[in-house]
Structure 1
Amino acid sequence: MKKIGVIGIPGGWSSEKLADSVAERTGFRLLVDPSSVRLDLPSGRAMFGEVELNSLDGLIIKKIGRSYSPDLLDRLEVFRFLAEQGMPIFSKPMSIIRVLDRLSCTITLQLTGIPMPPLTITEDVDAALDAVTTYGEAVFKPLYSTKARGMFVLQPGPEARAIIERHKAEHRIMYIQKKIELNGRDLGVVFLGGQYLTTYARTVRNDAWNTTTASGGKYQPHEPSQEIIALAHKAQAPFGLDFTCVDVVETADGPMVFEVSAFGGFRGIQEACGINAARHYADYVCGRIMA
């Protein structure tokens, strides 16, 4: 019997579902809260309670924290240590580190030639104000966030400078993206082991500017064009993630990519497509560890 642990959030829907799916395959269930792991560097032992993680046959990182922050990069270093010692970890911690920071992810996508909405990165308030004026409407995004948390839309106006200054007080480096017309939806294009799995749409509700479920967005099934699948495949390829979702928006200028997810979500796939992504992921991991 192989022992495969899941790094995630106790009580979290996706984390618990993945731990259950792994247990169905292996007979062993361990959901590891990353905030409760201790790494003893002299011995090289990583402990979760009484469980020595080094003794496991592998780990799957579903979530590394309840909310995104730079602290998660440090938390991932513990698992990078295990990976460098030879433990199979899905996805590799270094792959997650490269995509967790929104700016790092964006720079990689831009260097790969992926079409994205116009974007300004700056620490200067005047430059940020110029970007808002140029774009007409701009979305300010924290470098570490998910589901649109901390994001806001800004238009040129007498209060714009003061709003930018308040934002800069909390976010020294400002990530400012031109607001793109969503036409009511954007897409989550899902990949497992670098292979296309499925696509779902997130639709706008209640006149929200984004499609997140927190803003009333709903998941729906969607059959994408081959152009969109090819673009999303190219976007996720540089990161080498075992499971991910590429956020794509269809525009008058063709499809564009917003970002590549560090972890990918299960709920949208389940609700829109009827696919048990946790089971697919568990099968994928077990197939590689047990081979």
Structure 2
Amino acid sequence: MMKIGVIGISGGWSSEQLADAVEKKTGFRLIVDFENLLLDLDTGTVWSGGVDLSSLDALMVKKIGAQYSPALLDRLDILRFLQGKGVPVFSPPDRIMGVLNRLSCTITLRNGKIPMPPTIITENVDLGLKAVETYKEAVFKPMFSSKARGMEVISPGLGAREKIENFAKKHGMMYIQKKIDFGRQDLGIVFLGGRYLTTYARCARGDSWNTTIRSGGEYKPFDPSLELIALAQKAQSLFGLDFTCVDVAQTPDGPVVFEVSAFGGFRGIHMARGMNAADLYVTYIQEQLDKGLITY
């Protein structure tokens, strides 16, 4: 029996979906929640629920925390330790590190010549205010966040400086992006093993400025052009993730990429396309393990 553990959150929809798919195909079920994990460096073991994770055939990473934060990098280092013990991890932790931090992900994309919205990085409040005045309307984004958590739209005028000062006090380095016109939807273009899988749209509802489900958005099917797929393909290839979703927006000036994610996609694929991404992902990993196609 192949033993594949799921790094996730007990009770979380996508984590449970993935654990169910593993159990269906292997008869083994284990969700590894980092809050209950123990790393013993002296014995070289990592324990979760009475199971030594170094004894598993592989680990699949679905979620490493309910909220994005720099602390998740420590959790990825524990997975890196397990990988060093010979346990294949999908996706490899060092590759997840490359997308977890918004600035790191952005720099890789920009170095790869991927079109993105105009962006300024600074710790200086005066320069932040100047960026807002230049952009007319800007989105301030935490370096570690998902589903638009902690993001703030700031426009020039009364109160702008105070808002920027408060953001800088809380986050330090400021990631400031021009608020662009992409209509009422953006796209999640999904890849499995580097190959295009499917696409769904996130559609805003009401007066929300973003399309996230958390803000009332909804998933709908979308069939992208070959040009959009090629753009997303190039973006995801810069990171080498086993399962990833590229966030793309269509603007009057052409498509732009917001980010590449190591964790998203399952719910959007299910609701918009009726596909079981978890089942497909487990099949892919079984094939990689059977063929010995493991990279570190």
Which category describes the TM-score, using the shorter chain as reference length?
over 0.9
Aligned to 1:16: 16
User: Counterpart of 1:208 in 2: which secondary structure?
Assistant: coil
- CA offset digits 1:23-71 (Å, max 9, x no partner): 1111111111122111111221111131000101000010000100000
- CA offset digits 1:237-285 (Å, max 9, x no partner): 1111100100000011111000001212211100101111010001111
Aligned to 2:165: 165
Aligned to 1:116: 116
Aligned length: 291
In structure 2, distance between residues paired with 1:233 and 1:54: 33
Aligned to 2:175: 175
In structure 1, distance between residues paired with 2:165 and 2:56: 49
Aligned to 2:253: 253
Aligned to 1:290: 290
Shift of 1:85: 2.1
User: Counterpart of 2:238 in 1: which secondary structure?
Assistant: helix
- Normalising to structure 2: TM-score of the pair? 0.97
State, as a whole percentage, how many aligned pairs show the same letter.
62
1:262 aligns with 2:262: yes
1:203-282 → structure 2 map (5 Å cutoff)? 203-282=203-282
User: Counterpart of 2:116 in 1: which secondary structure?
Assistant: coil
RMSD, matched Cα: 0.7
In structure 1, distance between residues paired with 2:85 and 2:231: 35
Shift of 1:290: 2.8
- Normalising to structure 1: TM-score of the pair? 0.99
Contact 1:8 1:15 in 2 (8 A): yes
In structure 2, distance between residues paired with 1:24 and 1:287: 16
User: Counterpart of 1:241 in 2: which secondary structure?
Assistant: coil
- CA offset digits 1:121-141 (Å, max 9, x no partner): 000001100100000000000
1:51-90 → structure 2 map (5 Å cutoff)? 51-90=51-90
Aligned to 1:148: 148
User: Counterpart of 2:87 in 1: which secondary structure?
Assistant: coil
Q: Which runs of 4+ in 1 moved over 3 A?
A: none
Residue ranges of structure 2 left out of the alignment (5+ in a row) = 292-296
- Which amino acid letter does the alignment assign opposite residue 246 of structure 1? V
Shift of 1:173: 0.2
